[in-house]
């Protein structure tokens, strides 16, 4: 779980100061952003009501996610939320659905890969998490690719199996190596432009830190892409270097940490010892 949060923290500086340098330094200005806030909102939703849903319960479950998103937005309104999301979150109890195809749906779903009991349940729960904010097939598929990758990694599947799931089940092209993509890559928060390379950063990595460095050094939406890559990488490698934990942990709000810790104790207690 913290793999996603720490990726957000480390990438936060480089969202505004993009780099192509794999060996970029950690920056003291780094902090958590909306990626962390909404990831913890998803944790809180699952803690409050852990029941699995069926296809007919997607809207009702979506209302639970929407309420948490609004609650956490109002707690941290300056965490870097996009304008469209902020406008939606500011509408008290609105049932309006947004048709966004941005990567905001994918950046927050890492907890679903730990909490769900089957890949089918992951895909259904992701759909509910997107119901009000990302009513768009591309955004939903991107979020399913991320949460499904976490689920598969956590349950011991290989990188080849994860790649097959993303390419065949979620229909994203992962064929371009990052070294070939990096020189011309630019910031683009659309799902199809940012989620696949973030997943490729995990697939090309050799450990947790290299996954973050590969994602950030593309020079794009660094906090979100590192959040995604880091979330999958922790589920797969099961280890975050101590120096990264020591750097990131104090930069996350203590209230958010409490919810994240409670989530880990319930769904993935081994991660608290890593």
Q: What is the pLDDT of residue 55?
A: 59
The fold for domain 2-273 equals ADP-ribosylglycohydrolase fold (1.10.4080)
What pLDDT is recorded for position 96?
Answer: 86
In this prediction, residue 225 carries a pLDDT of 98
Residue 269 has pLDDT above 90, yes or no: no
Largest CA distance in the chain: 48
- Given a contact cutoff of 8 angstroms between Cβ atoms, the answer to whether 190 and 199 are in contact is no
Give which of 217, 245, 244, 215 is closest to 227, Cα–Cα: 215
CA distance 99 to 166: 22
pLDDT at 51: 76
User: Which pLDDT band, with edges at 50, 70 and 90, does 271 fall under?
Assistant: confident
- For 131-176, how does the pLDDT look when each residue is reduced to its tens digit (9 = 90+)? 999 999 999 999 999 999 999 999 999 999 999 999 999 999 999 9
Residue 38 tokens read as: 């909404």
pLDDT tens string 51-79: 767 656 899 999 999 999 999 999 999 99
| Cβ pair 53, 125 in contact under 8 A | yes
What residue spans of 90-207 are helical by DSSP H? 110-115, 119-130, 137-154, 159-164, 178-181, 191-203
Residues 80-99 have pLDDT tens digits of 999 999 999 988 666 789 99
Read off the pLDDT band of 211 (50, 70, 90).
Answer: very high
Give dist(CA 265, CA 123) in Å, integer: 23
List Cβ neighbours of 199 (8 Å cut-off, separation of 6 or more): 145, 146, 149, 162, 166, 172, 174, 228, 229, 232
Average pLDDT, integer, range 23-29: 98
pLDDT at 273: 60
Nearest-angstrom CA–CA distance, 36 and 223: 10
């Amino acid at each position: 779980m913290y793999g996603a949060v720490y990726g957000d923290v480390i990438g936060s500086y480089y969202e505004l100061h993009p780099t192509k340098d794999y060996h970029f330094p950690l920056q003291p200005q780094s902090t958590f952003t909306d990626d962390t806030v909404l990831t913890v909102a998803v944790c809180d939703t699952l803690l409050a009501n852990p029941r699995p849903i069926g296809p007919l319960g997607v809207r009702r479950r979506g209302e639970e996610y929407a309420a948490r998103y609004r609650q956490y937005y109002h707690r941290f309104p300056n965490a870097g939320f996009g304008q469209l999301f902020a406008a939606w979150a500011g509408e008290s109890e609105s049932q309006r659905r947004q048709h966004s195809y941005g990567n905001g749906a994918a950046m927050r779903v890492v907890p679903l890969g730990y909490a769900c009991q089957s890949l089918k349940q992951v895909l259904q729960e992701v759909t509910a998490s997107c119901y009000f904010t990302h009513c768009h097939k591309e955004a939903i598929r991107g979020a399913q690719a991320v949460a499904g990758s976490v689920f598969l990694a956590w349950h011991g599947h290989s990188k080849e199996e994860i790649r097959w799931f993303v390419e065949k089940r979620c229909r994203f092209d992962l064929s371009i190596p990052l070294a070939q993509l990096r020189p011309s890559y630019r910031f683009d928060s659309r799902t199809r432009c940012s989620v696949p390379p973030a997943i490729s950063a995990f697939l090309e990595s050799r450990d947790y830190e290299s996954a973050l460095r590969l994602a950030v050094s593309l020079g794009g939406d660094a906090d979100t892409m590192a959040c995604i890559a880091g979330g999958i990488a922790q589920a797969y490698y099961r280890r975050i270097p101590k120096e990264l934990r020591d750097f990131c942990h104090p930069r996350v709000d203590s209230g958010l940490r409490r919810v994240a810790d409670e989530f880990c104790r319930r769904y993935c207690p081994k991660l608290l010892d890593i």
